[in-house]
Amino acid sequence: MDTPLAGLKIVITRPREQAVDLARRIEQAGATPILYPLLEISSPADVQPLHDAVSRLAEFDLAVFVSPNAVRYGMQAILEAGPLPPQLKIATVGQGSARALRELGAANVIAPQDRFDSEALLALPELQQVAGWRVAIFRGDGGRELLGNTLGARGAKVEYIECYRRSRPRHDAALPEAVDAISVTSSEALGYLWEMLDTAARDRCAAIPLFVPHPRIAEKARELGWREVVPAAGGDDGLLSGLIAWAKFRNQP
């Protein structure tokens, strides 16, 4: 078996339930995955607004799911109430989320093919002429306003539907010292990590290669003082490919 990551210890900071498949693939590549979730994901404290919004879903022209968690919690609430309205267009940011939506019965999902962020979704031709549309954006508690603001500027009437909440986990253990790489997939999680560390731990941590899937996270990491920030494509495939390419380069004589 090919083990391009043999002997490495790699920290995965995703929410625990989202890290299982990636940890398995990293292990298959020869590395030791270390699960160290920096965010906990759960249902909203009050689910009634979500159920009320879902009951009106047939009034909307487009539903946008901004993340895998939005797909998971949003579609769960929708399908519990009944099937997706047949006229409703569905959009999402990433290809992993698009696959999950198709598996849950959504057809013709609108999603970018290359970059996986709001900017890439907004650049698609399907979202240029939206004047008069009613748009539901399924997301967590808070987040970027770019998607809604831009669609609103294009003439759509936008409603945010909060279908999950993020919280900071309680860690009993410190971040392991003898690790070779850390992966962080959100600026919020990166901020939590930095807040948890004392000065000495920050200095040590900033010397560990940090793998991130988006320029915004990379910029924040450099502002915090990270010395080696490695860009990777989104999703499990992108992160794994980035780790393998980095390990190959690292092992060159």
Over residues 195-249, the pLDDT tens digits come to 888 888 888 889 999 999 888 899 999 999 999 999 988 778 889 999 999 998 8
Domain finish residue from 118, 137, 166: 166
Q: Has residue 2 been placed in a domain? A: no
| Beta carbons within 8 Å of 190's beta carbon, 6+ residues apart | 38, 184, 212, 217, 220, 221, 224
Structure tokens at 69: 């968690």
Q: How many distinct structural domains can be found in the chain? A: 2
Residue after which a domain boundary falls, among 119, 146, 166: 166
If 0-12 CB within 10 Å is exposed, 13-18 middle and 19+ buried, where does residue 130 land? buried
- Look up the domain containing 206 and give its range: 9-39+171-250
**Residue 178 confidence (pLDDT):** 85
| Same-domain status, 51 and 34 | no
> What totals of helices (H) and strands (E) does the chain contain, helices first?
10, 11
The answer to whether 226 touches 206, Cβ cutoff 8 Å, is: yes
Higher-scoring residue by pLDDT: 117, 98: 98
Q: What is the DSSP string of 129-197?
A: --TT-EEEEEESSS---HHHHHHHHTT-EEEEEE--EEEPPP-SSPPPSS-SEEE---HHHHHHHHHH-
**What is the CATH classification number for the domain harbouring 132?**
3.40.50.10090
- Is 1 inside a domain boundary? no
Residue found by looking up tokens 């309205």 in the block? 85
**Same domain assignment for residues 91 and 122:** yes
Task: Give the pLDDT confidence score for residue 172 in this predicted structure.
Answer: 59
Task: Report yes or no on 195 lying in a domain.
Answer: yes
Find all residues with CB under 8 Å of 103, minimum gap 6, and list them: none
Query: For the chain, how long is the longest CA-to-CA vector?
Result: 62
Does residue 148 share a domain with residue 55?
yes
Do both 25 and 124 map to the same domain? no
In a domain, 4, yes or no: no
Look at residues 221, 214, 243, 226 and name the one whose alpha carbon lies nearest to residue 67. Answer: 214
Domain co-membership, 212 together with 110? no
Most confident of 15-24, 129-138, 165-174, 238-247: 129-138
Answer yes or no: is 3 within a domain. no
Tell me the C-alpha distance between 92 and 138, whole Å.
10
| Percent of the chain residues topping a pLDDT of 90 | 64
Residue 144 predicted with pLDDT over 90: no
Say whether both 25 and 68 belong to one domain.
no
Mean pLDDT of 12-38: 91
Residue in the block written with tokens 């092992």? 251
Same domain assignment for residues 182 and 244: yes
Residues 71 and 159 in one domain: yes
Crossing angle (nearest 10°) for helices 16-28 and 235-250 = 40
CA angle (239 as vertex; 198, 11 as ends), nearest 5: 30
- Of 166, 185, 203, the residue at which a domain comes to its end is 166
- Whether the per-residue pLDDT at 1 is higher than 60: the answer is no
